Structure 1
Amino acid sequence: ARIKPKESIMAKIEKEGCKNPADEIEDLVACRLIVKSNTDIDGILKKIDEIFNIERRSFRSFRPSEFIYDDVQLILSFKDNPFISNKEILGKKFELQIRTGLQDALAEVIRGEFVNDELATSAEYSDPDYADKYFSQLPDKVKARFWGYKFTIEYLKDANRSDLNQCFDRLNRNVARLNAQELRHARHAGAFITYVTQLSDDPFWKDMGQSTTSRIRRMLDIEYVSEIFLVVMHGIKDGREHLDDYYAWYDEEIPDLEENRRKYEVCKN
C-alpha cells in the first residue's frame, strides 16, 4: 500500500483543477493485491464486491518495448456497515490493483532498467561469461531461463516475446474467463478505448440504467458506449465482432474526433 506523495498530489490538483481533492482524486491511497493464480481473481472480486462499492473496474495493458503485461485496476469506496466507526471515510475512493505473482514479477522486471539494456551485470560477477553484460548480450539459453517461470497453462521454453504475449492472451481467455469487452481492455490501451471509457463515466448513462453496478463491474457500460459512438461514426453494424477491429484501428488516433463527438451528443440527447 502507498499514500500518494504531496508533490504528486499538488501536481494533479494543478493539472486537473480539483476543487475538492479528497473527493475528486481517486488514488490518494492505493493498494496492490498479489494472488497466486488468475483462477483466484473471480473469487476475490466477489469478496471485494461484498465489502466495497466498485466504482470502476478496468484491465490495463502496459507495453514497455512491446512486452505486454496486464493488471486489474479497481476504484473502490467503503460500503456502510456497523463495523465502520469513522463514517467520514464513506464515499472516499481509493485504488486497488490485482496481479498474479507472475505478472507482478514480470512487471517489476520490465520496469527495470536491465531488460531495456540500461544496466549491465556487475563487472565482478563470479562467472566471467556473464560479467559486464547487457541483457541483449546474454545467450539465448540464459534469456530462456530468465523468463522460465511456470505458467498455469504451459511452460514457455524460449525468449520469444511474441510467444510471451500470446501466452498472456491465452491466460486471459482461458483462465480468468474474461468477457469480450474485458479482453479488449487487456489488448488495447490507446486513444479509442481511453476516450469511450471517459464517455461512459457520464452520469447520463447511469440515469438511463446502462451504468449499473453489475454492468460497470463487467465493463458492459463501456461496450455499450463504444457501440453508440461507432454507430455515429460508421452507421449500424450487425453484431459486436466489428468492435475488435475498430479498437485496433483507432488505437493511435480517432479520426474527426470533434465532429464525431458533436454527433454523439446529438444522438445521446
Structure 2
Amino acid sequence: MPFTVSHAVVALPAVRGPLPAAAVAAGAMAPDVPLFLPVGLDYAATHAFPSLFATALPAAGVLLGVWLLLLRPAADALLAARIASRLPRAWARLSRPTVRGALLALAALLVGVLTHVAWDAFTHAGRLGTELLPALAEQWGPLPGFRWIQYASSIGGMVVLVVAGIRWLRRTEPCTAPRAGARPGERALRRALAATLALIGLAAVLVPVVVEGVPRDVDALRGVVFAAITRGGAAAAVAVLLAALAVRLVRGRAGRPAATAPAAP
C-alpha cells in the first residue's frame, strides 16, 4: 500500500481553498484505518463502492473529530517549542459550527476518501488502474509497475509534506507570549511522549525481525516493513491520544485556558 500518511498530501491545495484541509487529510487517510486499528471495519469495504460511504466516510468523520476536539487543542503542549510557538491561534479553540461549515467538511471528507481510492487503484494488483493500464501489472525489472508507482508515490508524498512543513516553519513568526506547553506538567508529558514514541519505533522494527527472522528476500522485507508501520503506527496513535487526554486533565486542574499562538499566515 502507499504509505498512509502520504495520502494526506492531497490536502495541501485545500489550505487556501474553501474546503477544510484537515477534513481532506482525514478523508484521505481514513480508508486505511482497518490496517491500523481493529475497529470492525473491513479493508475491502473502505476501498470499494458503494460500501465506502458507510465505512470510510464515517471513519473519516471520527478522525476529524478526534483531531478537532482532542489533538489540535493539545498540539502546543506536545510539540517542540519551536513548532508550538508558530501554531495558529485558532487551534486553541473551537469555532461555532454552521450548516455551511458542516457541508464543506462533509464534502472535504468525501474528496479525501475518493482521492485515496483513486490513488490505490493504480498502486495495487487487480484494481481499476491496472485494468485500465495493463502495463502496470507487468514486470518492470524486479517489481511490477504498480509496485514502483506505489513506492515512488509514497516517498514523493512524504517529501512534499515535509518540504511544505519546513517552508511553513521558516516563514511563520513565533509567538513571544508564554505558551501553555511551558507548564512543568506539560513539559513532562512532552518528554514522556517523545521517549514513548522512540521506544515504539524501536520495537516496531525489532519485534517483526525477532518473530519472523531477518528478511532474506523482497517479499519478506515488505512484510516486516508493513508490520512495523501498521503495528507501530497503531501504538503511536494510542500513545499520542493518551498524551492529549493527559494534557486536557493537566489544564483542567490548572483551571486556565490553553495559551494562544500566532495566527496562521
TM-score (structure 1 length as normaliser): 0.29
Greater Rg over alpha carbons, structure: 1
TM-score (structure 2 length as normaliser): 0.29
Q: Of the two structures, which has the highest relative contact order with CA contacts closer than 8 Å and spacing of 6 or more?
A: 2
Q: Which has the higher strand share?
A: 1
